[in-house]
Amino acid sequence: MKYSEAERGRVFVIRLEDGDIIHEKIEQFAKEKSISCAYLTALGGIDKDSKLVCGPENGRAETIIPGIIDITNVHEVTGTGTIFPDKNGKPSLHMHLACGRGETTKTGCVRTGVKTWHILEIVLVELINCSAKRLTDKTTGFNLLEP
């Protein structure tokens, strides 16, 4: 286990609107507000033609192939995520959603393009005095949190 300490900074209440791509809007917002590190929670709806990353398709293979879940209809969602700077200092969102419709739930990461359906409410809490970053892991190729 690795860890570092941080303090709570500003708190933002955000509403994404119909058609907004979650990761694009949140990363843009973080850049505009000079937010390097944060955690957030989301509640609302996502639209058809969204894609979630799950997986990997091939388990613990040396070359990892991510699974993709196609969202073919509107879903209710709840999710949580973090923002930390990448190796270039750019805010990088890592967020997972649980997406339900009827008796079926799909869960995955938003990084491939998840569209808001009418409204997605987000509460974002800035972390200050935080040294954590997302750096590329040479073994997996993942952008891993380095506290």
Per DSSP bridges, beta strands 75-85 and 104-109 are unpaired
Averaged pLDDT, 68-94: 97
Please report, for the domain that includes residue 32, its CATH number.
3.30.1330.80
User: How far apart are the C-alpha atoms of 57 and 47, rounded to whole Å?
Assistant: 24
Tokens of 83: 């923002």
The overall average pLDDT reported for the chain is 95
Q: How many domains does the chain have?
A: 1
Averaged pLDDT, 133-144: 88
For residue 63, the model assigns a pLDDT of 75
User: How far apart are the C-alpha atoms of 117 and 47, rounded to whole Å?
Assistant: 5
Averaged pLDDT, 36-52: 98
Between residues 147 and 56, the one the model is more confident about: 147
pTM of the model: 0.93
Would you say residue 62 has pLDDT above 90?
no
Contact partners, residue 135, CB within 8 Å, separation at least 6: 86, 87, 143, 144, 146
Would you say residue 141 has pLDDT above 90?
no
84 is a domain residue: yes
User: How far apart are the C-alpha atoms of 133 and 91, rounded to whole Å?
Assistant: 9
Which range, of 37-41, 45-49, 142-146, averages the lowest pLDDT? 142-146
Averaged pLDDT, 9-21: 98
Plot region of 59 (φ>0 → left; ψ -120 to 50 → alpha; else → beta): left
113 is a domain residue: yes
Domain that holds residue 64: 13-130
89 is a domain residue: yes
